[in-house]
Homo-oligomer: A and B are copies of this chain.
Amino acid sequence: MVVTLVGAGNLATNLGAALQKNGHEIRQVWSRTEASAKTLAQRLSCDWTTDISTLATEADVVVLSVKDNALEELSRRLASASRTKQSKALFVHTAGSMPLTALSQQRSGVFYPMQTFSKTRLADFSNIPIFLETQYAEDLPLLRSLAESLSHSVYELPSEKRRFLHLAAVFACNFANRCYDIASEILEPEGIPFSVMLPLIDETAQKVHTLTPKDAQTGPAIRWDENVMEKHLLLLDDKEKELYRLLSQSIHERQKQ
C-alpha cells in the first residue's frame, strides 16, 4: 500500500520503518519542523514537507501520528485545505488515548500499535498488538490488511474501550519504567551500576507471563514489614517517600482482597 505519514516522532519513525520493511511505499513525511521531517524522510528515502496544506494525500492510507493535543487541529486543517480535502485516502490516527472522532475526515480510523517506541531503538512489530477501529465497516478490511502485514496480533477495539487500554499501558510501561529510573537514581550515588538490576527487571516481566501480577507480587509491602519500610523511607527524599508510601499501601490493600 501507499502510505503518507503525518508526524516524525517516535511512533511515526518506528511505524514508517516497519511499513517500508514490509513492502509498503511511504509516499511522504510531514513534520512541523524541517529538521525532523528531513531526518525521517532520509531514513525512509522518501519525500517530505512541512506545509500540511500541500500534503501528498494520494495514498491508500494517511497516518496521523502526532502529539495527542495537536491531532484534532491538524486533522481539521487537512480537511479544510483545498488540495487535501478531496483525498480518497483512509485517514487514521495512532493515538491510544484519542477517540476516533478526533479526526474530521469522513473515511477515518484508528491504528493503535500498543508499544513504547524510541527513535534510537527500532521495535519489532511482529508481536506488537495493533488495535483498529474504522468509521465505516467497509474500511476495516483495508486497515486490517495493513496491520496484519506488520503483526500477527491485530484486534478491533472501539474508542470507548481503547481509552482503558491506553491508561493500562501508561501504568504497565511508562510508570513501570519510572520505577526502573528511580532505582537507577538510588544506585548512582552509591556507584552501583544499573545493569545489576537487569536480571530482576527481566524476571519481574517474565513472571507475569505465567502468574497474574497479583500472584507475582513480592516485597515488604505485602506483609507490611514496617521495620524494613521505615528504613527504606529514611533513604528517600520527600517526593519519593510519598510515592513509596502510596505504592506500598496500594500493594498491601490489593493483597488483602
Residues of A within 8 A of B (CB): 10, 67-69, 97, 114-118, 120-121, 123, 127-129, 153, 155, 157, 161, 163-187, 190, 192, 194, 196-205, 207-221, 223, 225-228, 231-232, 235-236, 239-240, 242-244, 246-247, 249-251, 253-254
Q: For A247, what are the chain B residues with a Cβ–Cβ distance below 8 Å?
A: 174-175, 178, 243
Docked-complex contact B232 and A170, CB < 8 angstroms: yes
Copies of this chain per assembly: 2
- Residue from B116, B123, B167 within 8 A of A235 (CB atoms): B167
With A116-B218, A209-B198, A228-B69 as given contacts, are A171 and B177 in contact (CB-CB < 8 Å)?
no
- Residue from B121, B123, B127, B176 within 8 A of A179 (CB atoms): B176
The 8 closest A-B pairs by CB, nearest first: A174-B219, A181-B213, A168-B183, A205-B205, A172-B183, A180-B213, A176-B176, A168-B186
Q: For A116, what are the chain B residues with a Cβ–Cβ distance below 8 Å?
A: 200, 203-204, 207, 216, 218-219
Q: For A220, what are the chain B residues with a Cβ–Cβ distance below 8 Å?
A: 68, 97, 170, 174
Docked-complex contact A201 and B172, CB < 8 angstroms: yes
Docked-complex contact B164 and A186, CB < 8 angstroms: yes
A214: min CB distance to chain B, Å: 6
What's the Cα separation between A184 and B215 when bound, in Å?
12
Q: Which of A10, A185, A200, A239 has the most CB of B within 10 A?
A: A200
With A225-B67, A231-B163 as given contacts, are A199 and B118 in contact (CB-CB < 8 Å)?
no
